[in-house]
């Protein structure tokens, strides 16, 4: 199980400090939500922030592009130190060339799906990705409530992964706390983005360890399709 604190929920006045805190917590990934004010109604931060936090978090920087024109952003984010770059399936015809471009930059390839989008939209791409990101809130803001209707999408993607003998990770993002992480783990998720529920704790290490333990235990009692 991988826990990925989301920098979106951290103190924006102290990104380096917060990234170092996430590193000390033992989190395997640090999730960076990139918002362009067009694909989503919010603006967060850009490649310069990835570059700034890079020396403070030595494991995986998991960059999630909620952007309408990611083709102009892939190189700057790759050069800034991203390890994994995720784009959205809602981009339609752009998806295949974008996935190839991320791969050509030597980065892990992720594909995300928003709550209103049918999970079948992902199926053509499953063999081309290292990560599927199931959004469990409508993208744009942290602190939103988990959308329960997204759980069957996790189960469906997990079933396809097994049937097709693929190895991609299944990440969930939005409204994730310990209880919900357990529910998502039972459905087949193995990577958990959490902002509000983790960064609110003074002891981030304990919060990360607790979520990882709860998700791992729950995954032993799967509720798959
Ligand atoms: C939404 C963001 C959030 C964030 C996590 O666009 O992607 O899901 O990462 O936020 P919390 O954990 O506060 O819901
Ligand atoms: Zn995200």
195 lines ligand 1 (CB under 6 A): yes
**173 CA from centroid of ligand 2 (Å):** 6
- As averages over each run of 10 residues, the pLDDT of the chain (225 residues) reads 98 98 98 98 98 98 98 98 98 98 98 98 98 98 97 98 98 98 98 96 97 98 89
140 lines ligand 1 (CB under 6 A): yes
- Whether 173 contacts 31, CB under 8 Å: yes
User: Can you give the pLDDT at residue 225?
Assistant: 85
Question: In the chain, what are the domain boundaries?
Answer: 2-219
User: Can you give the pLDDT at residue 207?
Assistant: 98
Give phi and psi for 198, each to the nearest 5: -105, -50
User: Can you give the pLDDT at residue 224?
Assistant: 87
Kindly list the catalytic residues.
33, 173
Dist. CA 10–CA 13, nearest whole Å:
9
Dist. CA 66–CA 137, nearest whole Å:
13
- Report residues near ion ligand 2: CB below 5 Å: 33, 64, 173
Confidence (pTM): 0.98
In 3D space, the residue among 90, 84, 89, 78 whose CA is nearest the CA of residue 64 turns out to be 84
User: Can you give the pLDDT at residue 109?
Assistant: 98
The third-level CATH classification (topology) of the domain covering 2-219 is TIM Barrel (3.20.20)
Return contacts of 85-92, CB within 8 angstroms, 24+ apart.
85/109, 85/110, 86/62, 86/110, 86/111, 86/112, 86/131, 86/133, 87/111, 87/112, 88/39, 88/112, 88/113, 88/114, 89/113, 89/117, 89/121, 89/122, 89/125, 90/39, 90/114, 90/117, 90/121
Using most ligand atoms within 8 A of CB, pick from 173, 175, 211 the residue to mutate for ligand 1: 173
User: Can you give the pLDDT at residue 167?
Assistant: 98
Dist. CA 12–CA 33, nearest whole Å:
13
């Amino acid at each position: 199980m991988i826990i990925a604190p989301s920098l979106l929920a951290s103190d924006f006045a102290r990104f380096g400090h917060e990234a170092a805190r996430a590193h000390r917590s033992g989190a395997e990934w640090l999730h960076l939500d990139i918002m362009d004010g067009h694909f989503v109604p919010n603006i967060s931060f850009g490649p310069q922030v990835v570059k700034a936090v890079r020396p403070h978090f030595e494991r995986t920087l998991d960059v999630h592009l909620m952007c309408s024109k990611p083709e102009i952003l892939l190189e700057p984010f790759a050069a800034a130190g991203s390890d994994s770059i995720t784009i959205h399936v809602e981009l339609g015809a752009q998806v295949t060339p974008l996935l190839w471009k991320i791969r050509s930059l030597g980065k892990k390839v992720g594909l995300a799906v928003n709550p209103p989008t049918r999970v079948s939209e992902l199926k053509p791409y499953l063999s081309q990705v290292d990560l599927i990101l199931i959004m469990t809130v409508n993208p744009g803001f942290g602190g939103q409530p988990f959308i329960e209707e997204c759980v069957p999408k996790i189960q469906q993607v997990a079933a396809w992964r097994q049937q097709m003998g693929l190895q991609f990770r299944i990440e969930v993002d939005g409204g994730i706390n310990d209880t919900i992480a357990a529910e998502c783990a039972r459905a087949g998720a193995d990577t958990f983005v959490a902002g509000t529920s983790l960064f609110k704790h003074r002891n981030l290490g304990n919060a990360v360890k607790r979520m990882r333990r709860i998700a791992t235990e729950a995954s032993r009692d799967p509720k798959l399709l």
